[in-house]
A = this chain, B = another copy of it.
Amino acid sequence: MTNEPDSARGEHLTHTDSSGAAHMVDVAGKAVSARRAVAAGQVRTTAAVIALLRRDGLPKGDALAVARLAGIMGAKRTPDLIPLCHPIALHGVAVDLALTDDTVEITATTRTADRTGVEMEALTAVATAGLALIDMVKAVDPAATLDRVRVLLKEGGKTGLWERPCERG
């Protein structure tokens, strides 16, 4: 079953050694393989903000483009931001935004053919897009919240396909 960490994995944090010291794990021995990750999240705001974002969806309305680009560029900055992440050849990033009544739903897909997975890049894309959205709307809704930033799916590499179990929401 791919959805459950095995007991061996459960015994230690991979980014700290036996003394607890942080290190960037050596992945030179891992195989280069095609890998993909999908992450999602949402910005919860008010109906008034969503109306403004929809209105802004007219020609030259850049609000959603700002968030999409922040997400794509954020994915490229992942190894700068996450201390123990490996620099990686990022082969594709897409950030999709969908408006509901009072949320902006964010989905990011990242791809590589390298030695480590790209779920941190997908999560960083979602978080950065969400923060950029909050920055766009904060004068109107200072209480806007970034919520449920999580991996939905990853595939490739030795562990193969992982899909988020339903009970984890």
> Residues of A at under 8 Å CB distance from B?
5, 9-10, 12-17, 19-28, 34, 41, 48, 52-53, 56-66, 68-70, 72-77, 79-96, 111-115, 119-120, 123-124, 127-128, 130-132, 134-151, 154, 162, 164-165, 168-169
Q: In the bound complex, how far is the Cα of B62 from the Cα of A94, in angstroms?
A: 13
Cβ–Cβ < 8 Å partners of A70 in chain B = 81-83
Contact of A72 among B23, B92, B165 (CB under 8 A): B23
Cβ–Cβ < 8 Å partners of A123 in chain B = 131, 134, 146
Q: In the bound complex, how far is the Cα of B15 from the Cα of A151, in angstroms?
A: 25
Q: In the bound complex, how far is the Cα of B127 from the Cα of A119, in angstroms?
A: 15
Known: A24-B93, A70-B82, A76-B87. 7 other contacts (CB 8 A): A5-B140, A15-B63, A21-B68, A84-B132, A143-B151, A145-B168, A146-B146
- Residues B84 and A26 in contact, CB atoms below 8 Å apart: no
Cβ–Cβ < 8 Å partners of A164 in chain B = 143
Look across to chain B and name the residue whose beta carbon is closest to the beta carbon of A51.
B10
Take A72-B23, A123-B146 as given contacts and tell me if A66 and B83 are in contact as well, using a CB distance cutoff of 8 Å: yes
Look across to chain B and name the residue whose beta carbon is closest to the beta carbon of A137.
B13
Question: Could you say which of A13, A75, A87 has the most chain B C-beta atoms within 10 Å of its C-beta?
Answer: A13
- Residues B127 and A131 in contact, CB atoms below 8 Å apart: yes
* Chain B: minimal CB distance from A27 (Å): 5
Take A63-B22, A76-B80 as given contacts and tell me if A9 and B140 are in contact as well, using a CB distance cutoff of 8 Å: yes
Cβ–Cβ < 8 Å partners of A142 in chain B = 5, 119, 151, 154, 162
